[in-house]
Structure formats: C-alpha cells, structure tokens
Structure 1
Amino acid sequence: MVLERVVINVSVGDDGTVTNALVFNLKDIRKLRDQGICGVLCGSLPTIAQQNVFLSVPLRLSAEEAVWLLEKGYAKANVSRPSSISEKLRDESLANELSERAKLKMEREFERQRVYKREQHVLKLRKLGIEEKYRNEDEQLLESSLFYEVMNDSTILRDGNEVVEDVVDRLRSKYSRDGNFKVFCSLKNHGLVVSPGARFGGKFIVYPGDPLRYHSHMVVSSPLDYRQDPIDFRDIINGSRLSTTVKKIWVLSGIDTEEEQDEEQVKFFSIEWAGFG
C-alpha cells in the first residue's frame, strides 16, 4: 500500500536555501507526527488573537525537516521562488482582497449566531415563565460565546503552484553538503525525534519518542569541522553545566569529511557536568 505524500509549501531564497516550509492540512500533520516530525504550530488570525499555547495550523518545519521529508519521499513540495516586483504587487492585492472577504464572512457568521442565540434565549425564558427583559449582561454573555471556525487550508496559496522537480533536486543537492542537515539525518536514522534547540543553547534537542510522551534527553551543538575546528573549553563548561541543570546531556557534533560514507562522517561526543567545583 502506497501512502499519499504530504504536501509542504516551500519558499526558496535567492541562494537556494529554504526560507519557509509550511504544512496546512491536518491529515498531513498527523502523518508527519508518525514520522517523528513535529515542527512548530504558528497559525493565528490578526482579528482573533490567541496565546501561543492556542496556535493552530499551519505547521512550520525547519529546513532540515523539510528537506529530509523530500529526500525520503514522504513529502512533495509546492515551491515558491523569489517573485518579481509585479508579482509581489499582485500577490499583495490578492492578499488584501482575501482579507476583506474573510472579515465579511466572519461578521456574517457572527450575526447569524447572534440571531440564533437571541431566539434561543427568548424561548428559554418563555419556557421558564420568566418575563422577557433585555439586559446588558445577557448581551455581553452572548458576545463572549460567539466563535469563528478557522479553516485548515490556506486560501491564498494558488492551485497552480505545483511541484517543481528541478528546484527540489537542487535543494537535496545543496543540503546534502550541509553539516546541520547531516547531523539531523544521523539523529533521525537512530530513530530519534529532533526539534530546534535554541532555547537550550544548542542547534537541536533530541527526544527518544513523541515529545508529548517524553522529555528531551540531549542538547546537540552545531557541527564543527572534526579535524580542523578547535573546541573552546569554556563552551564545554557552559554547555555541559546548562544541559545538566535542565537534566539533559550536552552533545558535541562534528563532521569528518575524510570519511567516505555520509553516516560515518558524523561524530558525536556526549558531555556531562560532574558537579564538582
């Protein structure tokens, strides 16, 4: 049985690097979770602000996650290349038009809910034999109960933005030489779940399984040149003390370009603070 590939909307910069990678479909996001790709939810609406814990689709992927999925054949890409000035103006006009449509649709939906809820409120009072009186408190409660359903797909992405195989091939070629991508692939090949690690002072943080079930175990640094780059002793102290404090292992990564096999090029060294001194 061949599973349908996930669709990733990828923006590519002038230098050929991934500047943005978004997934809008909830079914696709579930499939990614099964592959140990969690990304970061970043969706919200300017007119309906939410706290970070309530953010929804789209799911933003890191460049390493997006290219890994494309390389493994788990995903296909809608590629957006740098636009000319005329295309940017046209896209901006389209965005403004869609924004106005969304506002009108939301207001119509709110008004429909207001009418329905007022009717239900009157029927309830009559059933209880209570005299109908208009109160400001009732209207405030009604307004607070209004909701707007956010669609799971982007209406601004054009249907004609199909897979551009030559761009995808160039992404694979470019990132196959990137040290961060090699480290990411090595960790994934060991069955680990990898997420951005900036909040712990590293390049990646690593989980033994789904982050909803496990705490992260390791903080992985950005890769060094295995045979050329020096290791600053202060970096070792800072990284290991910080990681031990948050109950993780500090992992130094390096790339040995003299090794022939990609998997053998990646080297890891784990460091733990012993607690003395």
Structure 2
Amino acid sequence: MKLCFQNDNICVYSLKDWVKLRKEYRIIGEYLGSSQATPTLPIKLLPEEAIFLINKNVAKLIQYPKLLVEPTDDCFKEYNKLQVDLQQAEQKIYKEYRKKELKPYIDKIVIAKQRKLNDSVSTSSVLNEELNRMKVTQENIIWPTLTEPLDCVKGESIEVPKSILMKRTTPTKILVFTDLWEKGYYVTCGKKFGGDFLVYAGDPIAFHAIHIIRCIEDPLKPLHTSELVAFGRLGTSVKKKSVLATKTNETVNYITINWLDL
C-alpha cells in the first residue's frame, strides 16, 4: 500500500488500506479529515507506525511532486467553483429533507403563525420561511470524504527513502513501538497524556488505554524526582499505568511507576 508523505504528514487515503491497517495490522493513526463532528479520511500515521509498516514490507512511502508546486489561479478557481456547487447541492438536499420532516406538522405551524400575527398566512409562505431558515455556508458545508488523493495529484509519484522518517523519531521509539505491537497491543500517540505512546489491550474503539509509555533515550541519564512524581501522578489521575521504556542492546526494558496515597 502507499503512504502519502506531504507537508511532513504521512497519510493514508484509501478506505481499503485503512480497513486493512486497522483489522490486520492494528495500526490506528489519527484522523485528519473532518465532516462536521464526524472524523473522516485521510488518516495521519506516526513515524513509528510508518517505519514499522515499511520494515514489514507492507507499505512504501511516496510523494506527489505536483503537490510541491505552488497552486495556480486556475486551481483556486476550480476549488471555488467546487465549493459553490457543493453548497447548492447540499442546500437542495437539505430543503427536500426538511420538507418531509415538516409535512406532518405544517398545518399546526400555520395555525400558530396566524394566531401570532392575527392575520391569515398561506401554507406555502410558511413552508418557504421554514425551509430558508438554514443556509449552507462555508462554515457548515459537509465536505465529501477523500478516499484517494485529488485528481490533480494522481498519477506521477516518487518513492521517499525511509531515512526521511528516521529524522522524525528515534531508534528507541521505533523499537518500543515494535516490541509493544509484537506483544499483541494496539499502540497510538500518547502526547495528549504526556507520553510517547498509549497502549490498548484491544481496538481503541472498544477499549480504554491501559498504559502511558514514555521513552527514555539515555537510561544512564538521571531523571529528576519531580519528573517521576509528575508522570506517576498523571497516570493515576487518568486511570492508566505510567511506564518508562528504555533500550539496551536492542532489548526493551519497562519500568512501571505506581502512585500510592498513604
């Protein structure tokens, strides 16, 4: 499968590839797309996830040269036309849906309107007023889910060397991610909890994380007591085990920090 490397992001656009990554390889990634409150493709992978897949000969890293070129005026015009067309199409769909939704209640709405205005109003005018209450704008438009790169970047691609990704991670993080994956866990980004990785016993859609992993690059470098205390308390506050991971001769060592209130 192809991992698209653009703007320092490693993206997966294909729905088929996304399903395969999640089901067969326990690779979750992070949603980049969004349609209102619903996350959508593409997904962004961690450097460790991408390197793991490349090492397993499951994927290759590619780049689309056309995306490196400054967009032309014609591209912006095409984009603006697409947005206008989408807004008009969604406005039409919304009105049809809203019309069906109002049909059982429109008579009651008309009567209530007449009482409020103390005047007669037609059903069609009330219906049109209700249908025009909501406008599809740039802020609330629902963009389609991208299941592959846009047409303008299809075709020509170049393969990117794995060394590019190595600059965005460390050998310790790569080894720790691989070790946790081989133990059967699901592993995701742990930055929001102050770590490098979050570890799950099953798919995160059904399980909560059980460990916060922080990778220590130099196991001989002393850690300040305040760092250990803060990391241990953080794990306890979010009901997860705080774990330090180090690498020694290609072997991963784990140390769990437990916080006890005495």
Give the TM-score normalised by the residue count of structure 2. Answer: 0.76
Separation in 2, partners of 1:38, 1:157: 27
1:27 to 16, 26, 36: 16
Alignment-mate amino acid for residue 212 of structure 2: V
2:40 to 46, 56, 65: 56
Count of aligned pairs: 239
Aligned-pair CA distance for 1:140? 3.3
Separation in 2, partners of 1:134, 1:117: 18
Correspondences of 1:147-226 after superposition (within 5 Å): 148=142, 150-152=144-146, 153-155=148-150, 158-164=153-159, 167-171=160-164, 178-226=171-219
How has the CA–CA distance of structure 1 residues 234 and 106 changed in structure 2, closer, same or farther, with 3 Å as cutoff? same
Q: What secondary structure sits across from 2:50 in the alignment?
A: helix
The equivalent of 1:238 in structure 2 is 230
Gaps of 5+ in 1: 13-18
Contact kept? 2:212, 2:242, Cα under 8 Å: yes
Separation in 2, partners of 1:209, 1:114: 39
Alignment-mate amino acid for residue 27 of structure 1: K
The equivalent of 1:16 in structure 2 is none
Is 1:11 aligned with 2:6? yes
Separation in 1, partners of 2:166, 2:14: 27
**CA RMSD after TM alignment:** 3.4
Is 1:275 aligned with 2:261? yes
Q: What secondary structure sits across from 1:134 in the alignment?
A: helix
Gaps of 5+ in 2: 111-121
Separation in 2, partners of 1:203, 1:40: 14
Q: What secondary structure sits across from 1:221 in the alignment?
A: strand
Is 1:102 aligned with 2:82? yes
Aligned-pair CA distance for 1:142? 7.1
Alignment-mate amino acid for residue 162 of structure 1: S
Residue deviations 1:210-247, cap 9 Å, x none?
01121111111132312x31122221111112112221
Separation in 2, partners of 1:240, 1:204: 15
The equivalent of 1:133 in structure 2 is 124
The equivalent of 1:77 in structure 2 is 61
Q: What secondary structure sits across from 1:250 in the alignment?
A: strand
The equivalent of 1:88 in structure 2 is 69
Q: What secondary structure sits across from 2:215 in the alignment?
A: coil
Separation in 1, partners of 2:165, 2:87: 45
Separation in 1, partners of 2:74, 2:174: 35
Contact kept? 2:66, 2:153, Cα under 8 Å: no
Separation in 2, partners of 1:253, 1:70: 23
Separation in 2, partners of 1:172, 1:36: 20
Separation in 1, partners of 2:93, 2:170: 55
1:38 to 28, 46, 50: 28
Aligned-pair CA distance for 1:168? 3.0
Aligned-pair CA distance for 1:255? 2.1
Aligned-pair CA distance for 1:149? 6.1
Q: What secondary structure sits across from 1:55 in the alignment?
A: strand
The equivalent of 1:15 in structure 2 is none
Separation in 2, partners of 1:95, 1:20: 22
The equivalent of 2:116 in structure 1 is none
Q: Which shows bigger deviation, 61-70 or 152-161? A: 152-161
Aligned-pair CA distance for 1:81? 7.0
Percent identical pairs in the alignment equals 24
Q: What secondary structure sits across from 1:206 in the alignment?
A: strand
Aligned-pair CA distance for 1:194? 0.9
The equivalent of 2:115 in structure 1 is none
Separation in 2, partners of 1:172, 1:103: 35
Q: Using CA pairs under 8 Å that are at least 6 residues apart, name the structure with larger relative contact order, 1 or 2.
A: 2
Residue deviations 1:152-210, cap 9 Å, x none?
3331661234251xx33434776796222222112112111111112211111111110
The equivalent of 2:113 in structure 1 is none
Q: What secondary structure sits across from 1:211 in the alignment?
A: coil
